Chain A
Amino acid sequence: METITITMKNQPALYLEADCVSPDAFAGMTAAQIAELSVYEGNVTGTLGKYFDVTGSAGTTAADTKIIVRGDVKKVKYLGMKMSAGEMVIEGDADMYVGAWMTGGKILAKGSVDAFAATAMKGGELTIEGNAGNYLGAAYRGDWRGMSGGKISVKGNAGSDIGMYMLGGEIVINGNIDVHVATHAEGGKVVIKGDAKSKVGGQMVEGDIYIFGSIDIMMPGFKPAGEVELEVEGTKGKFAHFIGDMGERHKKKKGQVIYANLYKKI
């Protein structure tokens, strides 16, 4: 695997849209060619090289390309957008849309990321060592086809609206989350090791949520269904089981109504 390193040298005055920063776009290019790729600051088109030093070289395919993003990229959007393979390491904090619409490969964000990370993710891995913003792993506006595969892990906290319209895949948050999680989900698994606030699993059709900490206010549409022993993400314990959303539509399989599950650690 070849490594290419981009290092911020000239901060944009506004925010920079750098959707070209992905192994797919870089594959098969020299550093000089990569520096010529287009990035956008407002309505002005510039080159990646205007803002970043580019060193190293990319592999022949996305899968053999690793990108290291260095320097302050708090004002850079779309890092790793639509990536399908390869690796990316973001050493500091990044702005919105990290790994949005990604279908494969791995992103490691060592800092925090802003909203819309992993929008409508289909596959791959996104690991965030800091905090994640709102709409992590959520669907794009209006789309009923949200995250359908892959795994998102967050060491810190996450914002609101994570996993909206989720269909599959996995989101694990080590810390706490804000309101609304897995809203409208029809599949997938969300694990919150810290606390949740309220509106957990609203309008959920199918899928599983595990909360290790507290829930400030339960959704009335989740009905108690006993207690279960479970092993979740390496932790064994007793969980209170709820099924819901009782107000929502549900599919039937073999005559049985399939509800979404909410497990809260006791």
Chain B
Amino acid sequence: MSEYVIKNGHVFDPVQGIKGDKAEVAIKDGKIVEKAGSGAKVIDAKGMTVMAGAVEIHAHIAGPKVNLGRIYRPEDKLFTCTPTKGMERMGSGNSIPSTFKTGYEYAKMGYTTCMEAAMPPMFSRHVHEEIRDTPIIDEGAFPVFGNNWFVMEYLKNHEVENTAAYIAWMLRATKGYAVKVVNPGGTEAWAWGLNCLTVNDPVPYFDITPAEIVKGLIEANEYLGLPHSMHIHPNNLGNPGCYETTLDTLKLAEGMKANNKFGRESVMHLTHTQFHSYGGTNWGDFESKAKEVTDYVNKNRNITIDTGNVTLDETTTMTADGPFEHHLTGLNHLKWANVDVELETAAGVVPYIYSPNISVCAIQWAIGLEIPLMMKDPMRCYITTDHPNAGPFTRYPRVFKWLMSTKAREEQINAFKHKDKVLTQTSIGSLDREISLYELAQMTRAGPAKSLGLGNMCGGLKPGMDADVAIYNFNPEKPVANPDDIEKAFTRCAFTFKSGVEVVRNGEIVSTGHKRTLWVNAKIKDNPQVVRDINEKFLKYYSMTQANYESLGHHFVPNPFAIEVDAT
């Protein structure tokens, strides 16, 4: 493998505490090393910003609901499909890019590790086929557990050990990465057209509450010592006043401690916090409760969050929160897709236009920015757009611009039709914090890597770590003349390295790299009861046989990277 040495660049690396100093970064055999050999290729990064490859903690980029979005939105690609170009296959899609375009776009922005945030277990083979066709970036996928019949039956009797054994089986069967929870209990209720809007609403038939599911899954997660914490999309997403449910959910983690060998300190990751930080009683008095939510998270160190920034685009919402999407189609009357998955979960898809002329959308935009600006520890707050729910991931550079420049925020606020309402219903106008490049590296690299339990592998530039490096044409020593320069610089990397391979040069793809699928192989004590329960459910209730359920072999996971966990 080639050796490289990146010279003269301004390095921002929270793992080593480097804050923009000129430092050399050496690459050999796919890893960051202290020093490269004399034959190493020199990359001159003079006047540029050097960071580790960015880590995406939550995006919907592969699998059945993403593809349903592609299938049912030809208008999302009209006149914008891109041709074959050098190494690049044809691309398509704005809010839901094709798999090839997804890989290229992330790499061009300097992202090298991405997590698909919701894998319906029964469809894991589909998720992995798409991951296989997404070039360059390492990917993992989170199977959903919050409405799973096994989980609800075990946790009804607080059988944490059985739940853990089942999780371990499922991670292996689906080649999954973490325990994802979406609208716990609410999605099972949705199978009857119902929902759970608080943590105490009973789940129909299963005699359990969302609170019990969440607590039990945290305990099982820590029993196994998985790399990532339980990752949750709480009940009551997107409704005025939902922040109370959010706080009730966060409180379920009180007193819980992380148990793992990966350096992770959190036991709960709250995702797309923006959608869960709403006050008010209706769309008229809709207001921000970002302060209440971030105050709580600031005080409780065992929680990490991501933002879910609204980017003010036409996009496609998609979530395993089936009842929410049904609610949404009732509001905007746009086409509604829903898929209920036997014994496991559901998903819904609805297009959405975040218009700067609608006050609710503008307030959502403000809340998404308030959250990271109010979070004291950037290592516990990560930038996402919950792609494509609040906006496409390709808009990250624009979100960075808004976070890094009060001027950019003011320009946008002044452009809103209902500017006054944005200023009265949120405190965005009074926040003058500007996120620094070092903080940005914490929020997009070191932070999410640590929360995912990958802190020793990626998200930093310390010798021994994977050589994932992003170099931006952005000079931190020069004052920013125009905030749009920030957006431009972060949209296309000067160079991106993935596992030591130069994959992007001057914003163009020059190699499709050696993409890996990350999954977690948790070893547990033999558990005959759980084995029996799984056999029985397949015989009686699944519509396919157990022998055909697993994601196996070269076609689905051609280049696996298993993270081993021993919970025996």
Report which A residues bind B (CB closer than 8 A): 140-145, 249
Contact = CB atoms under 8 A, between A and B. Distances in A.
Contacts of B333: 249
Contact of A140 (B72, B75, B334, B335): B75
Contacts of B75: 140-143, 145
Contacts, number: 18
B74 interface: yes
A225 B369 CA distance: 53
A142 B334 contact: no
B73 interface: yes
A120 to B, nearest CB: 9
A140 B73 CA distance: 11
Interface string B456-469: 00000000000000
B81 to A, nearest CB: 13
B357 to A, nearest CB: 16
A141 B75 CA distance: 7
B333 to A, nearest CB: 7
A194 B72 CA distance: 35
A142 B334 CA distance: 11
A19 to B, nearest CB: 10
Interface of B: 72-76, 78, 333-335
B252 to A, nearest CB: 39
A249 B75 CA distance: 23
B75 to A, nearest CB: 4
B68 to A, nearest CB: 12
A144 B335 contact: yes
A141 B71 CA distance: 11
B350 to A, nearest CB: 12
A142 B69 CA distance: 11
Closest 6 CB pairs of A and B: A143-B75, A142-B74, A141-B74, A142-B75, A142-B73, A140-B75
Nearest to A141: B74
18 contacts: A140-B74, A140-B75, A140-B78, A141-B74, A141-B75, A142-B72, A142-B73, A142-B74, A142-B75, A142-B76, A142-B335, A143-B74, A143-B75, A143-B78, A144-B334, A144-B335, A145-B75, A249-B333
Contacts of A140: 74-75, 78
A249 B334 CA distance: 12
B514 to A, nearest CB: 32
A142 B74 CA distance: 6
Given A142-B335, A143-B75, A145-B75, 15 more contacts: A140-B74, A140-B75, A140-B78, A141-B74, A141-B75, A142-B72, A142-B73, A142-B74, A142-B75, A142-B76, A143-B74, A143-B78, A144-B334, A144-B335, A249-B333
B321 to A, nearest CB: 23
Contacts of B74: 140-143
Nearest to B73: A142
A87 to B, nearest CB: 24
